[in-house]
């Protein structure tokens, strides 16, 4: 364990070798499709600059982000050779920075296409962009009917070079989902229409993590792995499909130990009352660190091999657990989630949430320790 972790009240540990294994596993699944690595939200809480370095060394040449600020952070950190695809939308006052930092925007609708074109026409060179098609998620994207009706206008817009067409699957973590199959079919119809009309011949991508796992017929030119890149399954754990390597574990230290006696309540709002004498350990982690308040009176952690329950309300900086054996002392480390012994997917399901939320909300005050 590093010096930094020994002096930390809580920390997350990220295994770079595990992510390397996941990259290789995804490539085997994806066949000849390129990897567009989704590293938005600080690489899902894993530390974006460290992940970008690993991905660059692995030969990944396209990074996907959600905000212009995320793209600028990567460019200013020296990642100048990669294509950076902005998956999210953009504002008119951000278009100048799209050009300055060579960010590839998503065109989510006709309005944004017009905004982009008005700025691009004043530039010496057109801007590359990916056009998003709404195939049924009903969020961002140009609907199929509008795409076919206005295709001439869209693909001849001055100053904008549409290099790729893509869409997003709403329920791809469900194998054989009819809605997902319908989305893939709708996307195929859009591509076929444009190609038959001689309007566009470019790259195509639709598969997110679930699509990579369960819809190989839709891998196309590129896939966009997000959660599976970090070793977690978007739905049920499915090691028969692919053996992912979980890369992040979240830890905290015991700061104090006390006894709770029958009839005594614990913590804010007295949500827990002891029925017997209990050993209580106070952990130096709370919801300000990203350990959710929803784990109050329902979360479980591992103290060595002993499974301990969260008791009372999770506080801003402190969480209380019951240690049945009583064998605990200040300074002991506790595994909040992670690894094969305490899977993130299981922890998330027990709290009625999803793995994405848990890893993304680990706060900036929690040190990330990157290990090989």
Any idea how long the chain is?
A: 372
Q: How far apart are CA 208 and CA 222, in angstroms?
A: 10
Q: How far apart are CA 349 and CA 337, in angstroms?
A: 12
pLDDT under 50: residue ranges of the chain: 1-3
For residue 110 the two structure tokens come to 């006709």
Q: How far apart are CA 67 and CA 48, in angstroms?
A: 13
Cβ neighbour number for residue 354 with a 10 Å cutoff: 18
What's the CATH number where 149 sits?
Answer: 3.20.20.10
Question: Helix, strand, or coil here: 138?
Answer: coil
Domain that holds residue 308: 248-371
Q: How far apart are CA 224 and CA 204, in angstroms?
A: 11
Q: Which of 199, 230, 261 is the last residue of a domain?
A: 230
pLDDT tens sequence across 218-230:
999 999 999 999 9
pTM: 0.94
The CA-to-CA distance between both ends of the chain, in Å, stands at 12
> Within a domain: residue 23?
no
What's the CATH number where 269 sits?
Answer: 2.40.37.10
| Residue 40 is among the residues annotated as catalytic for this protein | yes
Contact indicator for 233, 343 with CB cutoff of 8 Å:
no
Q: How far apart are CA 218 and CA 337, in angstroms?
A: 33
pLDDT tens sequence across 262-272:
999 999 999 99
Specify whether 62 is located in the same domain as 118. Answer: yes
Specify whether 221 is located in the same domain as 270. Answer: no
Note the pLDDT of residue 7: 62
Among residues 123, 258, 259, 268, the one annotated as catalytic is 268
> Within a domain: residue 310?
yes
Note the pLDDT of residue 156: 94
Average pLDDT score, the chain: 95
| Rounded-to-5 percentages of helix, strand, coil across the chain | 35, 25, 40
Q: How many domains does the chain have?
A: 2
Cβ neighbour number for residue 243 with a 10 Å cutoff: 11
CB-facing half-sphere around the CA of 176: CA atoms within 13 A: 0
Specify whether 342 is located in the same domain as 273. Answer: yes
Q: What is the distance, to the nearest Å, from the Cα of residue 260 to the centroid of all Cα atoms in its chain?
A: 39
Specify whether 265 is located in the same domain as 147. Answer: no
| Residue 166 is among the residues annotated as catalytic for this protein | no
Q: Which of 164, 198, 230 is the last residue of a domain?
A: 230
Q: How far apart are CA 66 and CA 314, in angstroms?
A: 30
Note the pLDDT of residue 8: 86
Among residues 40, 132, 204, 313, the one annotated as catalytic is 40
> Within a domain: residue 13?
no
Specify whether 193 is located in the same domain as 267. Answer: no
């Amino acid at each position: 364990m590093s010096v930094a972790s020994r002096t930390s009240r809580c920390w997350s540990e990220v295994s770079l070798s595990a992510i390397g294994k996941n990259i290789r596993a995804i490539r085997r699944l994806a066949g000849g499709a390129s990897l567009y690595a989704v590293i938005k939200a600080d690489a899902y809480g894993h530390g974006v600059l460290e992940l970008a370095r690993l991905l660059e060394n692995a030969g990944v040449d396209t990074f996907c982000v959600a905000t212009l600020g995320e793209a600028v952070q990567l460019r200013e950190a020296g990642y100048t050779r990669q294509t950076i695809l902005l998956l999210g939308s953009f504002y008119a006052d951000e278009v100048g920075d799209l050009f300055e930092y060579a960010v590839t925007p998503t065109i989510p609708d006709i309005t944004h296409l017009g905004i982009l074109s008005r700025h691009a026409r004043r530039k010496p060179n057109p801007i590359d962009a990916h056009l998003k098609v709404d195939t049924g998620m009903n969020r961002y994207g140009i609907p199929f009917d509008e795409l076919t009706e206005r295709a001439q206008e869209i693909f001849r817009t001055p100053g904008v070079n549409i290099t790729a067409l893509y869409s997003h699957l709403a329920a791809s973590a469900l194998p054989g989902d009819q809605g997902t199959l319908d989305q893939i079919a709708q996307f195929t119809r859009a591509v076929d229409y444009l190609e038959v009309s001689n309007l566009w011949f470019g790259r195509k991508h639709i598969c997110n993590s679930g699509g990579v796992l369960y819809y190989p017929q839709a891998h196309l030119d590129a896939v966009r792995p997000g959660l599976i890149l970090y070793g977690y399954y978007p739905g049920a754990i499915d090691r028969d499909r692919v053996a992912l390597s979980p890369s992040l574990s979240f830890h905290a230290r015991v700061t104090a130990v006390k006894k709770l006696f029958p009839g005594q309540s614990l913590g804010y709002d007295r949500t827990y009352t002891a029925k017997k004498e209990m050993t209580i350990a106070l952990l130096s982690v709370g919801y300000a660190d990203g350990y959710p308040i929803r784990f109050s009176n329902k979360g479980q952690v591992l103290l060595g091999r002993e499974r301990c329950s969260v008791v009372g309300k999770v506080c801003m900086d402190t969480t209380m657990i019951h240690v049945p054996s009583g064998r605990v002392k200040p300074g002991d480390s506790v595994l909040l989630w992670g690894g094969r012994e305490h899977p993130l997917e299981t922890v998330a399901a027990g709290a009625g949430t999803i793995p994405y939320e848990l890893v993304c909300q680990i706060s900036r005050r929690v040190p990330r320790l990157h290990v090989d």
